[in-house]
Amino acid sequence: MVPEMEFIISTTKKQELVDITHQVEGSLAKSGVNDGLCNVYVPHATAAIAINENADPEITLDIIDALDKMVKEGGWRHDRIDNNAASHIKAAIVGPSANIPVKEGRLQLGRWQDIFLCEFDGPRERKVIVTVTKQGR
């Protein structure tokens, strides 16, 4: 039996990184698991999950700027379908999930690490699924 929890994040911009660390910690507390692995996943093709710093919020803007430089808007095959190929490519680069070890009921995030929902085609409602797996038997 794997406890599974979900929550919804309403993004407000075309592109943004939303800190969801507190929501994930809430899901972990609900799971009752003390030692194991916490998976955070978005079931969306133009959103992603990243772990990085939020003490300086400009880093989240730098990440978006870097992806904008890597993936130019326009000219992609998928743009003929719904004109958001760059959003799909950025989501594929960052990836849809992250695993965080859990020890004594706490996420083992580093001092400078937070968990972010990465929005690349907002604003939208995004579902986040948190699955906590207990270690051992």
Q: Which among 30-38, 80-88, 100-108, 122-130 is the span making contact with Zn ion, rule CB under 5 A?
A: 80-88
Q: What is the DSSP string of 62-77?
A: HHHHHHHHHS-SS--T
Q: Which among 55-63, 82-90, 99-107, 128-136 is the span making contact with Zn ion, rule CB under 5 A?
A: 82-90
Site for Zn ion in 83-102 (CB under 5 A): 84
Hey, is 101 helix, strand or coil?
A: strand
Instruction: From 7, 32, 19, select the one nearest 118 (Cα to Cα).
Output: 19
Position 73 contacts Zn ion (CB under 5 A): no
Compute how many other C-beta atoms are within 10 angstroms of the C-beta atom of residue 121: 20
Structure tokens at 76: 């992609």
- CB nearer to Zn ion: give 62 or 82: 82
Member of 73, 82, 93, 108 binding Zn ion (CB under 5 A): 82
Task: Catalog residues that contact Zn ion under the rule CB under 5 A.
Answer: 82, 84
